Amino acid sequence: MKDPKIVFFGPVGAGKTTAIATITNNNSATTEARISDTGLRRKSRTTVAMDYALLENDGQRIHLYGTPGQERFRFMWEMVSTELAQDCSGHIMLLDNARNHPRKDLEFYLHNFTIYNPHTRLVIGVTGSDLVPTPTRADYAAWLTELEIKAPLFFIDARRAEDIQLLIDQILQPELPGHANACDYGVSQTEEEISLEDLFATTHDYPLFTPALITEIESIGPVTGAALLNVDNQPEYSSLKHHQLQQLLTFTADLPAVRRRIDDCGSIESFTLRTGTEGYYLVMLADNQVLGVHCSDQLSLLTLKQEIDNRMQWSVNLTPSPT
């Protein structure tokens, strides 16, 4: 009999690395780096490749894999799902109740981690409920019902070995006749039907600054306007006031050299422009697009980056393209 394999996935800070280290008494291999983006508020380091540990459990060897939470490491999601653990016994999704939008995290990570192994057993663990009591168990149960997902869900502490053991036991328990033990997210493509180009493509997976995304960003309360500029530094769209747009154009006129350095369409660079008592701009460059977002000081820069990062992930996978 092959050793069981279990894959942990979920957003940054949900406790994947902690869970694997806890259940193996810190006897795990991790690849981490300091965070330089929006996760810095709650976590100083993040997994950039994967975590791995071999758990000895009542004479059984269990391989545990932890994936990075950030979408720019999508290639590792695919490698773990299709190569290292494509025959895994189950998925453990960890969600952080203290993140801004747990419901959208649930949908986003379900969509991305069940696409290659749609019939693999799934268990969900929710961390952070001691910090933020809502959403509640009833909320998550309702969401799973709406998504037609049948998976056991537990509120846990990733620092408690017994909590992680509970999740693992749920994966390894014998399948009961007549009970759904796998997650079927309605994926029609099988792994064999996906070309290698689609499987490991990166350029079209990372969201661009679409009209739908800009509308989502403008809905963030303290955001007062946004503008999309083309390669010639001309506005293709703007909801900024005239003087705000002129401030932005003056600033971005000095960025063509930076744009030429961005050869990878999947990369995004960002800059901050202060405007005195009016607040600040977050200026983001991706390929030949520049997005300027003006925000009041009611929202911190780190929080704004987190909100935009969330919407970029959700928009490319969950939001239909505007007609």
Are 62 and 166 part of one and the same domain? yes
Residue 284 in any domain: the answer is: yes
Which of residues 150, 170, 200 is at a domain's end?
Answer: 200
Are 182 and 237 part of one and the same domain? no
Q: Which pLDDT does position 302 carry in this prediction? A: 79
CA dihedral defined by 308, 206, 37, 250, rounded to 10 degrees? -70
Q: Which pLDDT does position 49 carry in this prediction? A: 62
Collapsing DSSP to helix, strand or coil, 61 comes out as: strand
Residue 323 in any domain: the answer is: no
Which of residues 172, 200, 228 is at a domain's end?
Answer: 200
Are 176 and 234 part of one and the same domain? no
Residue 206 in any domain: the answer is: no
Residue 309 in any domain: the answer is: yes
Which of residues 145, 173, 200 is at a domain's end?
Answer: 200
Residue 19 φ/ψ, nearest 5 degrees: -60, -45
Are 175 and 223 part of one and the same domain? no
Residue 205 in any domain: the answer is: no
Q: Give me the CATH number covering residue 77.
A: 3.40.50.300
Q: Is the whole-model pTM more than 0.75?
A: no
Are 132 and 158 part of one and the same domain? yes
92 burial class (0-12, 13-18, 19+ CB within 10 angstroms)? buried
For residue 302 the two structure tokens come to 């780190």
Indicate the angle between helix axes 301-318 and 211-218, nearest 10 degrees. Answer: 140
> Edge-to-edge strands of the sheet including 51-57?
51-57, 60-66, 5-9, 90-96, 121-127, 153-155
Are 193 and 217 part of one and the same domain? no
- The closest alpha carbon to 104, from 322, 317, 304, 266, belongs to 317
Are 108 and 235 part of one and the same domain? no
Are 181 and 230 part of one and the same domain? no
Give yes or no for a contact between 124 and 95, defined as CB atoms under 8 angstroms apart: yes
Are 49 and 166 part of one and the same domain? yes
Residue 221 in any domain: the answer is: yes
Residue 127 in any domain: the answer is: yes
Q: Which pLDDT does position 290 carry in this prediction? A: 87
AA letter at 39: G
Q: What is the pLDDT along the chain (323 residues), one digit of tens a residue?
A: 688 999 999 888 899 999 999 999 876 555 544 444 444 444 444 445 678 899 988 788 999 998 887 766 667 777 777 777 778 899 999 999 998 889 999 998 888 877 767 788 999 999 999 899 899 999 999 999 999 888 999 999 999 999 999 999 999 987 654 444 455 544 333 334 444 444 444 444 444 788 888 998 999 989 999 999 987 888 999 999 999 899 889 888 876 555 554 444 445 677 777 766 678 888 888 767 889 999 988 888 878 887 887 777 766 544 443 33
Q: Which pLDDT does position 87 carry in this prediction? A: 82
Number of domains in the chain: 2
Strand partners, 91: 7, 122
Are 63 and 173 part of one and the same domain? yes
| Euclidean distance between CA atoms 117 and 99, whole angstroms | 26
Are 49 and 184 part of one and the same domain? yes
Q: Which pLDDT does position 162 carry in this prediction? A: 93
Are 306 and 246 part of one and the same domain? yes
Q: Which pLDDT does position 73 carry in this prediction? A: 67
Residue 158 in any domain: the answer is: yes
Owning domain of residue 297: 211-318
Do the strands 5-9 and 289-295 form a parallel or antiparallel pair, or are they unpaired?
Answer: unpaired
